């Protein structure tokens, strides 16, 4: 799979500003947290854990204890990966030097036999590979493998890649050559090994990925046996909880998305990637079935997945509570991973539609607009004084913290946003596919004989302009496939000012022909705001309405509605109006007529509530929580 960043120059009115924020604010802030240099936030100590591990290897002991979660190493890995994408978009000598220093620290913590994990080097020496269920060794390995590939792509430097090849060889030796049983409790290494395989050409990495995927599905038998034999535990969770870690059925037989949502979509990503590499039709169909389960019955409007705090997990069909929603940011990130690989497997516009929804709402909503505060959990309704306070809602915070003791989400957001071009475009079978609308110039010299430039102000506007720059006097022979968004009531395509009717298949408009310098192609996507209605089986949303404009889900926040959102009732028929630039982040605000009910002070009353007409103001969901403590609601009751 080609690295699109290597041939793409971004110039986008939305994501270019976001990438600059990541480079100038998010990455420096997160690095400072990882170095324990930010006061008032949860301590990380992740980089110092690697220093301690290196000292342990040199001296036989170390002055500092391991600190943090068992998977603390992965925070460093994800930050390095995010930094690599930033370097590829915008070379930065200072950032690269910081990365090189951290890579040196990581490399020094590697054992002679290739093993690399600070928790087991510092805190539990002698117990490696004895708690695959809970201890995340393979998960941490996978994230560092992804960072190694990304950094080699960005800089040409292979020190971290060499380190991780040595570790991958160690893992192969342990599980394949020596035949030790087991597979990851928390999936991730599967998809990472496939990235390593494509980068290095080492067939054994693909073999190892397939081994871990195919070994799942024993109904929890291995983890139960492992727990009984080792005589110690990390958290003491039920080792035979097969749905939680997707071991309930062999992967080709799984049809319903179950268990820990992040683990699930990381697994499904590896499955889709392996299916593409091997042509395994059973595995492809399993991925289709799991996609259907998620998107038809177990996904929030925002693209959030995993509705339960208990186990950070999928629950049952249509169980999508709003105020207690878990909808972990990492799960939305992982859903984007899965859908990107589904698009590689087969070109269906609906995969890109859902990926876009998850990106603009479930992922972007996880980060404060200033880049320094983050949501782990993304509720669709917040009530100050209850959200984050009541026993059943302590996870559903109404404001973003600066960091977390379990800090998987902040660097995950950074690495996805830094590589957004990889999700927007792909070059396959001599054609340029546009899955997401992202402005910039892509070098198609090999395929088309020139460059294609895309200009847009998406998602503020649905006007997308394509222009062409042939290398010489001859026209470019262009093969372009543009997604037609499922939310749009209509899409118009113009070629050199005249209406053009392309072939449309599975949500993509296929445009082929000769284009000269000065020729243009315009795609006008209807971005009109629309009401969204829930399935009748979603109990939490009965008799409620939500609003969507383009890919953006909208919500009502107290700041814009006299501090009271819970009392609002929205008209089913009143026109929806747009106020350009009035919402946070320069996005359009929506207004629609409705009413506010006023009740008595009694807990229950026989008197019907009074109501007064109001104009309800709505902002993009990803921008909520940036203006102080507020009520917020996505689904609003009908009048």
Enzyme catalytic residues? 312, 408
As a whole number of angstroms, the distance between CA 174 and CA 181 comes to 9
Which two structure tokens, joined as six digits, stand for 324?
């207690």
Torsion sign (Cα): 203, 208, 213, 219: positive
* 425 burial via Cβ count (<10 Å: 0-12, 13-18, 19+): buried
Which two structure tokens, joined as six digits, stand for 150?
């990304």
Nearest to 559 by CA among 532, 582, 588: 582
As a whole number of angstroms, the distance between CA 317 and CA 314 comes to 9
* Cβ(335)–Cβ(303) below 8 Å: yes
* Cβ(234)–Cβ(155) below 8 Å: no
Question: How would DSSP label each residue in 530-545?
Answer: EEE---TT-GGGTTEE
* Cβ(352)–Cβ(343) below 8 Å: yes
Cα distances (angstroms) measured from residue 157 to each of 150, 161, 163, 237? 10, 8, 12, 41
Cα distances (angstroms) measured from residue 168 to each of 124, 126, 194, 228, 476? 21, 19, 11, 27, 43
Task: Compute the C-alpha angle 31/264/293, nearest 5°.
Answer: 135
CB count in 10 Å sphere of residue 276: 19
* 234 burial via Cβ count (<10 Å: 0-12, 13-18, 19+): middle
Which two structure tokens, joined as six digits, stand for 514?
């000769």
Q: What is the largest CA-CA distance in the chain?
A: 81
As a whole number of angstroms, the distance between CA 303 and CA 356 comes to 9
Residue 560 is classified by DSSP as G
Strand 431-434 with 476-483, pairing: parallel
Contacts of 521 (CB under 8 A, 6+ apart): 465, 466, 467, 480, 493, 494, 495, 500, 511, 515
As a whole number of angstroms, the distance between CA 630 and CA 129 comes to 46
Nearest to 590 by CA among 541, 639, 638, 550: 550
Strand 463-470 with 520-525, pairing: antiparallel
């Amino acid at each position: 799979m080609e690295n699109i960043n290597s041939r793409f120059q971004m110039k986008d009115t939305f994501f270019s500003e976001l990438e600059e924020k990541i480079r100038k604010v998010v990455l420096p802030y997160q690095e400072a947290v990882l170095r324990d240099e930010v006061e008032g936030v949860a301590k990380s100590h992740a980089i110092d854990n690697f220093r301690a591990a290196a000292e342990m290897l040199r001296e036989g002991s170390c002055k500092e204890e391991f600190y943090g979660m068992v998977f603390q190493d992965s925070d460093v890995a994800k930050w390095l990966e995010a930094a690599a994408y930033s370097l590829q978009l915008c070379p930065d000598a200072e950032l690269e030097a910081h990365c090189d220093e951290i890579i040196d620290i990581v490399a020094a913590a590697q054992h002679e036999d290739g093993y690399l994990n600070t928790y087991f080097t510092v805190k539990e020496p002698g117990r490696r590979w004895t708690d695959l269920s809970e201890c995340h060794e393979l998960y941490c390995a996978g994230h560092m493998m992804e960072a190694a590939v990304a950094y080699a792509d960005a800089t040409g430097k292979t020190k971290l890649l060499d380190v991780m090849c040595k570790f991958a060889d160690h893992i192969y030796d342990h599980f394949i050559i020596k035949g030790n049983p087991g597979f990851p409790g928390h999936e991730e290494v599967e998809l990472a090994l496939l990235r390593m395989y494509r980068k290095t050409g080492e067939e054994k990495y693909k073999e190892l990925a397939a081994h871990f995927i195919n070994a799942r599905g024993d109904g929890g038998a291995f983890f139960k046996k492992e727990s009984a034999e080792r005589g110690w535990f990390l958290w003491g969770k039920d080792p035979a909880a097969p749905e939680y870690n997707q071991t309930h059925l062999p992967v080709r037989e799984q049809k319903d998305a179950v268990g820990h949502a992040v683990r699930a979509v990381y697994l499904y990503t590896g499955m889709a990637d392996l299916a593409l590499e091997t042509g395994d039709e059973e595995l492809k169909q399993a991925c289709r079935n799991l996609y259907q389960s998620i998107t038809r019955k177990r996904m929030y409007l925002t693209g959030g997945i995993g509705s339960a705090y208990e186990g950070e997990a999928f629950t049952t069909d249509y169980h999508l509570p709003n105020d207690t929603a878990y909808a972990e940011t990492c799960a939305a990130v992982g859903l984007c991973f899965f859908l990107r690989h589904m698009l590689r497997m087969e070109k269906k516009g609906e995969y890109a539609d859902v990926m876009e929804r998850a990106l603009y709402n479930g992922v972007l909503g996880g980060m404060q607009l200033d880049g320094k505060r983050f949501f782990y959990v993304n509720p669709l309704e917040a009530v100050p004084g209850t959200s984050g306070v009541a026993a059943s809602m302590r996870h559903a915070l109404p404001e973003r913290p600066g960091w977390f003791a379990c800090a998987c989400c902040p660097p995950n957001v950074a690495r996805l946003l830094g590589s957004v071009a990889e999700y927007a475009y792909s070059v396959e079978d001599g054609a340029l596919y546009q899955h997401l609308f992202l402005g910039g110039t892509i070098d198609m010299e090999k395929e088309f004989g020139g460059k294609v430039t895309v200009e847009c102000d998406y998602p503020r506007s649905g006007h997308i302009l394509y222009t062409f720059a042939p290398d010489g006097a001859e026209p470019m022979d262009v093969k372009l496939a543009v997604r037609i968004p499922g939310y749009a009531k209509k899409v118009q395509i113009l070629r050199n000012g005249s209406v053009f009717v392309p072939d449309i298949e599975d949500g993509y408009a296929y445009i082929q022909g000769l284009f000269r310098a000065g020729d243009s192609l315009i795609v006008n996507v209807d971005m009109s705001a629309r009401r969204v209605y829930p399935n009748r089986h979603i109990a939490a949303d009965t008799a409620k309405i939500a609003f969507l404009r383009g890919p953006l889900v909208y919500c009502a926040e107290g700041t814009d509605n006299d501090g009271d959102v819970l009392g609002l009732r929205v008209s089913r028929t009143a026109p929806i109006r747009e106020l350009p630039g009035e919402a946070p982040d320069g996005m359009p605000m929506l207004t629609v007529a409705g009413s506010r009910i006023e009740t008595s002070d009694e807990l229950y009353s026989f008197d019907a509530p009074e109501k007064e007409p109001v104009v309800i103001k709505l902002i993009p969901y990803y921008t909520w929580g940036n203006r102080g403590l507020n009520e917020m609601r996505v689904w609003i009751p009908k009048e």
